[in-house]
Amino acid sequence: MKKGELNPVLANKKFLMAITTLIGTIVGAGMLGIPFVISQVGFVYGSFLIIVLGLAFLMLNLFLGEIVLRTKKPHQLTGYAEKYLGKTGKRFMMVSLLINGYGALIAYLIGEGATLHSIFGWGEPLYYTLIFFVVTFIIISRGVKATGTMELILISLLFVVVGIIGLLSYDKIQLTNLLGIDTTIFMNLAGSLFGSGFMAFLGSIKNVLFSNIGIFIAPYGVILFALMGSPAIPEIRQIFDKDRKKMKKAIIFGSLTPILLYIIFTFIVVGSIGFQNFSLLEANQRIATVALSIYTNPILGLFANLLAVLAMFTSFLTLGLALVDMYHLDYNLKRTYALALAFLVPLIIVLFDVTSFIAILGLTGAFAGGLDAILVILMYWKVKRLGERKPEYQMGKHKILGIVLILLFALGILSQFL
């Protein structure tokens, strides 16, 4: 091994830790809300949304990776926004990160309490929420290395559990459960195209969009929430330290894997339960794993809830760390104060039982995810001119793609008001 060359075993471990850190940030509570919102529209259209938005976030993560690599001093997202977009950019990124971070942590605390209570069946969900809170606080207080190692272990277990759920539920999946309003609409449009001609087809599309717009955008916020992982990109830079040549590959693997995972998981859950059964449940029972435990056999329910615990655990770790680093690195607060600000706010909101699980996913995803994406694109255009060092990888300028994505996410934010 040459002088200065990284040990291959250590290099591979860092590569896996980088991938799992990103996957762990992305895959969390959003995954548990996707099956219900997709059951409303149908699996085909829902999968299309996951793929389109997932590829959009792949590009955004690669943009952010280049921003990080073009900057000498490490920051969290607010620090990069201030550097390239000024004080106003920093304020908007602060708002985005706070909505995203706190919204996610609130959802994880609610979800962990419910799923752990479902597994053990003793006491109240709040007891498990408090236990989960203490354990994750201890891990995060130790820093990125401890968190990264934990991510590597938990993500590996996560995929094992998804495989087990698939094996246990394959005979319960019904095709009719996968058919939603999208199937009816597509069939009507096809009939219009072949039966009445092209102009009638265009008119039918217009009518469909206006009459079903609420249904079409219903999954948007939750899916967006489930794909957000930008706070992990600066953490990946810290994992690689000086060996950053594999950072692009790690971002690609870490961004694409959740897309496949979500489609498989949604196919299993929606195919096994269907919208009609989902609609009979109370709001917080529509968490995918809780619904599986209600409508399927106890063993499948146990593995499903174990999946939920692992998924939310990994995301809570990385997002919690990102909030701490934001306060500590970008606002120069003592680490003790940073830890307190990051964790006391979501804990207090959960203790007062202010919101529900899926509702906070949709709102957080649409607002925080959209704002975060727009700011990343604006920073990316700026860093091309103002970057401080040559990055280990470079993307194109992507002006047209950037404009299209900005319009997409701006409309997504607007849709929540409408």
Where exactly are the structural domains of the chain?
9-417
Cα–Cα nearest to 254, from 15, 13, 14, 19: 19
Question: 336-349, pLDDT tens digit by residue?
Answer: 999 999 999 899 88
> What share of the chain has pLDDT > 70, as a percent?
86
- 125-153 in b/e form (b: 16+ CB < 10 A) is beebbbebbeebeebbbeebeebbebbbe
- Say if CB 393 and CB 247 are below 8 A apart: yes
Does the domain formed by 9-417 have CATH 1.20.1740.10? yes
Q: Which helix (H) or strand (E) holds 382?
A: helix 370-386
Instruction: Collect the ranges in the chain with pLDDT lower than 50.
Output: 4, 146
The predicted structure's pLDDT at residue 146: 47
For residue 53, the model assigns a pLDDT of: 95
* Percent of the chain that is helix, strand, coil (3-state, to 5): 85, 0, 15
- The Cα–Cα gap between 332 and 328 comes to 5
Q: How would you classify residue 4: left for phi > 0, otherwise alpha for psi between -120 and 50, otherwise beta?
A: left
**What is residue 185's predicted lDDT score, i.e. its pLDDT?**
59
Which residue reads 């995810």 in tokens? 369
